[in-house]
Amino acid sequence: MNSYDFDFGGISCSYDASSIAILPVPYAGTVTYGQGTHEGPAAILNASQNVETYDFTTGKNLETLKLSTMQMIDCAGEPEEVMPRIETAVAQIVSDGKQPFMLGGEHSITGPAVRAVVKHFGESQIGVVQLDAHADLRQSYSGTIHSHASVMSRVREVAPAVQLGVRSCSIEEAKLIEKQKYIILSPEDSLKTDKLEKALETLPEKIYLTVDIDSIDPSIIPSTGTPEPGGYNWYEINKIIETIGRFKKVIGADLVELAPIEGTHAPDFTAAKLAFNILSIMSGEPTA
Ligand SMILES: [Mn+2]
């Protein structure tokens, strides 16, 4: 399953008329544990066809979103070849005045997307919020600086970041976090509104939001490369996303690391619905 015939959610604006461009990036080049993240974009696009566009709990009508779904990025080749393709595609979307929303793919794809938005909006204009089980702060991993386990090191080279939901890292990363005074909140701390607001206050108004699906508890999402117990439940992650949307302007986002398990479609559907909720805060769609 490496191709798709779908527009996200069955919503098909022309690219010109759209305000958000969905960019599927089926990259899995540096995966180190569970395989299958290259199938994530197609699984999310497929599941999104079955998500009700009216949300009874929030009163949001997602049919009002102006979405266009782009061709999948060609992810064949070494990371040094693939990363520039991603940066170029995201740069084009933002220079056309649209918000990029990437469907991964493994987490390393966030690095070039953040570089593109920082180049477009200017240094110190963009902050990054990451929802993730892992700190992803290794300088390099398995011989490449473009590893999923290094993505926040790449991000922090170009933009300040707040990392939420983190519950796993190496001792070297823990020392780095302490030395650099990086703002990294556990799932529990990030759910305390005062702590979350204080963390968000350190960032510029414009935010790139990167959501690793493993920030959610693996009992809900077993379909991910590196599952880590102790994550958010459905209501918790949405509460955090809502809070980010209330305090910041989300100018770009991604949802990464879904590795679909054949026959287990609830995680794919959950990811598609989460994508809808992220798109909803990006568009500023009012809550009833
Ligand atoms: Mn990650």
pLDDT tens digits, 127-157: 999 999 999 999 999 899 999 999 999 999 9
- Ligand 1 is a single-atom ion; what residues have CB below 5 A from it? 107, 132, 136, 212
pLDDT at 33 over 80: no
pTM to 2 decimals? Answer: 0.96
pLDDT for position 285:
59
Q: What separation in Å is there between the alpha carbon of 13 and the centre of ligand 1? A: 30
The C-alpha angle 130, 226, 48, rounded to 5 degrees, equals: 65
Place of tokens 């992650």: 237
Q: Going by DSSP bridges, is the β-strand pair 249-256/99-104 parallel, antiparallel, or unpaired? A: parallel
Spacing, Cα 240 to ligand 1 middle (Å): 17
**What DSSP letter does each residue of 224-251 carry, written as one string?**
BSS--SS-B-HHHHHHHHHHHHHHSEEE
Which helix (H) or strand (E) element contains residue 14?
none
Cα 88 to averaged position of ligand 1 atoms, centre (Å): 22
Is residue 90 predicted with pLDDT exceeding 90? Answer: yes
Distance (angstroms) between ligand 1 centre and the Cα of 14 equals: 32
- 56 pLDDT band, cuts 50/70/90, is confident
Beta strand spans in 171-237 (E): 183-185, 206-212
Q: Residues 251-261: what's their mean pLDDT? A: 98
Per residue in 236-249, pLDDT tens?
999 999 999 999 99
147 Cα–ligand 1 center, Å: 10
Instruction: Work out the pLDDT band at 3, boundaries 50, 70, 90.
Output: very low
User: Are the C-beta atoms of residues 44 and 271 closer than 8 Å to each other?
Assistant: yes
Which residues fall within 8 angstroms of residue 191, CB to CB, at 6 or more apart? 232, 236, 239, 240
Q: How many CB atoms lie within 10 A of CB 187?
A: 22
Provide the pLDDT for residue 57.
Answer: 81
Ligand 1 centre and the CA of 175: distance in Å? 19
How do the domains of the chain map onto residue ranges? 8-283
In the reported structure, the alpha carbon of residue 107 is separated from the centroid of ligand 1 by a whole-number distance in angstroms of 5
pLDDT of residue 4: 57
Angstrom distance (rounded) from CA 187 to CA 39: 27
Q: Could you tell me the distance, in angstroms and rounded to a whole number, from the CA of residue 16 to the centre of ligand 1? A: 32
Instruction: Give the pLDDT confidence score for residue 1 in this predicted structure.
Output: 35
With cut-offs at 50, 70 and 90, classify the pLDDT of residue 59.
confident
Q: Is 58 exposed, middle or buried (0-12, 13-18, 19+ CB in 10 A)?
A: middle
**What is the assigned CATH class of domain 8-283?**
alpha beta
Please, which pLDDT band fits residue 287 given cuts at 50, 70 and 90? very low
Distance 64 CA to ligand 1 centre (A): 31
Per the prediction, the chain carries an average pLDDT of 94
Q: What's the average model confidence in pLDDT over 86-99? A: 98
